[in-house]
A and B are shown apart, each in its own frame.
Chain A
């Protein structure tokens, strides 16, 4: 049961990306070049569901299969947030892929998508090694 929920959520997420056409970099780039508002509808549809649904879910004392909700608590705007989001955006706009569509796209067997995912994992590992590991 504990694995069924994330498995189902991941499956739904990937299918949603595919239905929306956001697994295809051409569609993402068309949005970023202001040629096609599709991604705005996708983000809008997704955010409408979370905006309406999250408060209802969070009224519960705890999730169905868990002890507590694990939510970010920070509200400060710091430099890593802005610099990180800026760098992320540049990578996203250069190739037209972000983590969800990239991982979903792996199923297509394209070596270029695999290359992107490996570079993305390297970037995450680099962040972990350089910035995340706390002195113990």
Chain B
């Protein structure tokens, strides 16, 4: 109980923080996933390599999870396909408009003590809770 509910989320978080610290220390970049992906559309050629490198690392990490702890990867999403599409569109559009998501604004922005990131985190936490608690029962029905 203690391991799965307290220790694992905490250690996972420390690993995520270490990943962001590593990228800043070695590469001088912010580990914000939406910015890294979205930047691919606009980035000049010389700015693409590190982005693709990070994404390849995410894929490799996903493959490692599949090999050692396959239950950590989602098999089914708790929503019907129109909601999955709507959610994906909102996550893509919104994170680019806000210049960051849970990693860029959350993990890195808070670490930089950025006021923009603090506002973004408070806003997306609030609307996230609203969507999960109010919109999901209306659109999806039932608990996941």
Q: B-contacting residues of A (Cβ < 8 Å)?
A: 2-26, 29, 32-34, 36, 38-39, 41-51, 53-54, 57-58, 60, 62-72, 74-77, 80-100, 102-108, 110, 112-113, 115-128, 131-133
| CA–CA, A110 and B13, complex, Å | 25
Mark interface residues in B99-137 (1 if CB within 8 Å of A CB, else 0).
Answer: 101110111111111111001110111111111110110
| CA–CA, A108 and B124, complex, Å | 27
Question: What are 19 A-B pairs with beta-carbon distances under 8 A?
Answer: A6-B27, A11-B64, A18-B72, A26-B78, A45-B10, A64-B27, A80-B97, A86-B94, A87-B97, A93-B132, A95-B79, A96-B144, A103-B37, A104-B59, A104-B65, A107-B62, A119-B88, A120-B89, A127-B93
Do A70 and B124 touch across chains, with their CB atoms under 8 A apart? no
- Tell me the nearest residue of chain A to B49, going by C-beta: A3
Which residues of B from 29 to 54 have beta carbons under 8 Å from A? Answer: 29-31, 33-34, 37-38, 41-42, 49-51, 53-54
| CA–CA, A21 and B69, complex, Å | 11
Of B25, B29, B78, B91, which contacts A98 at CB under 8 A? B91
The CB with the most chain A CB atoms within 10 A, among B26, B56, B123, B128, is that of B128
Q: Is the interface of A mostly helix, strand, loop or mixed?
A: helix
What are the nearest 6 A-B pairs in CB distance?
Answer: A10-B57, A14-B61, A123-B92, A20-B12, A50-B111, A49-B17
Query: Which chain B residues border A107 with CB–CB below 8 Å?
Result: 59, 61-63, 65-66, 73
Of B8, B27, B91, B133, which contacts A65 at CB under 8 A? B27
Of A21, A68, A122, which contacts B9 at CB under 8 A? A21
Of B54, B83, B131, which contacts A32 at CB under 8 A? B131
Q: How many B residues have CB within 8 A of the partner chain?
A: 113
Query: Which chain A residues border B37 with CB–CB below 8 Å?
Result: 99, 103, 121, 124
| CA–CA, A24 and B92, complex, Å | 19
Of A51, A76, A84, which contacts B93 at CB under 8 A? A84
- Tell me the nearest residue of chain B to A94, going by C-beta: B87
| CA–CA, A49 and B73, complex, Å | 25
